[in-house]
Amino acid sequence: MLRLAVTEPGKPEIFRSIQGEGRSAGEVRTFVRLSGCNLHCTWCDTPYTWNWRGTKWPHYKDAPGAPHKFDRDAETIEMSVEEVAEAVEAVEAPPAPGVVLTGGEPLIQGSALIELIARLKRADPALLIEIETNGTITPSAALAEAVDLFMVSPKLAHAGDRPALALRPAALAAFAALKSAWFKFVLREASDLDEIAASAVRFGIPSERIMVMPEGTDSATLRAREARLRAPAEAAGYAWSDRLHIHLYGDTRGT
Ligand code: SF4
């Protein structure tokens, strides 16, 4: 079974859209948003996949006496691999050449994730499979073989996660060794570039597979950070990623 996020109670967050960020930005994809995450980033833009009522994780949308929490039962749906595959195949035109498995953290779904990929590829061997991951879980050989693109997003200090949880050397080194893995670091300040450079050395991440992306969930914030940070990021040798979906649709689910 797989646990998915929902756009409304009972409706899985499976949708076709433009990929807004990372290596395949600008391309049409079908997205499957899986629920659950092993990290708890303070600026996370999908907290409805993990920030459950009764937990203590802080989030930037917390208000005094009103923490930004979600009801796990209302926000998730369990589906079989076959049900998810059929829902992906039922998404309306235009046709997408690829599927993005995102979250939350998709790799916590274990073998069901590989079963889903195998099922989708059986129906369409040419289908591109992309996974967006926080890079904390070492991909199995079967997963590495089945996935065309991993967009790995290790979390810097500003995400607020414990470094020992967020930066797992074995997992990041395993991703770094895969030609199919690209890395996307979220950028807030120019000083973050030093942290990225240190991570690249520590985990053996080739700089030509590093992208940096401004943190923000509205166009004004993204543009302001781009104006300040794009030049120093590119001078450091990193490719820039925008967040096109935010400019197009805002911070909304199912887009
Ligand atoms: S790893 Fe990603 S999904 Fe998980 S809390 Fe951080 S930003 Fe959100």
Protein residue with its CA nearest to atom 6 in ligand 1: 41
Distance 86 CA to ligand 1 centre (A): 27
Inform me whether the pLDDT recorded for 110 exceeds 90: yes
Inform me whether the pLDDT recorded for 69 exceeds 80: yes
Cβ of 37 below 6 Å from ligand 1: yes
* Cβ burial, residue 106 (10 Å; 0-12/13-18/19+): buried
Cβ of 103 below 6 Å from ligand 1: yes
pTM: 0.97
Using most ligand atoms within 8 A of CB, pick from 34, 38, 41 the residue to mutate for ligand 1: 41
d(CA 32, CA 87): 9
Distance 92 CA to ligand 1 centre (A): 28
Q: What's the longest Cα–Cα distance across the chain?
A: 51
Q: What is the β-pairing status of strands 210-214 and 239-240?
A: parallel
Region 133-157 average pLDDT: 98
Distance 37 CA to ligand 1 centre (A): 6
**Cβ contact 226:242 at 8 Å:** yes
* Cβ burial, residue 186 (10 Å; 0-12/13-18/19+): buried
Whole-number pLDDT of residue 96 = 76
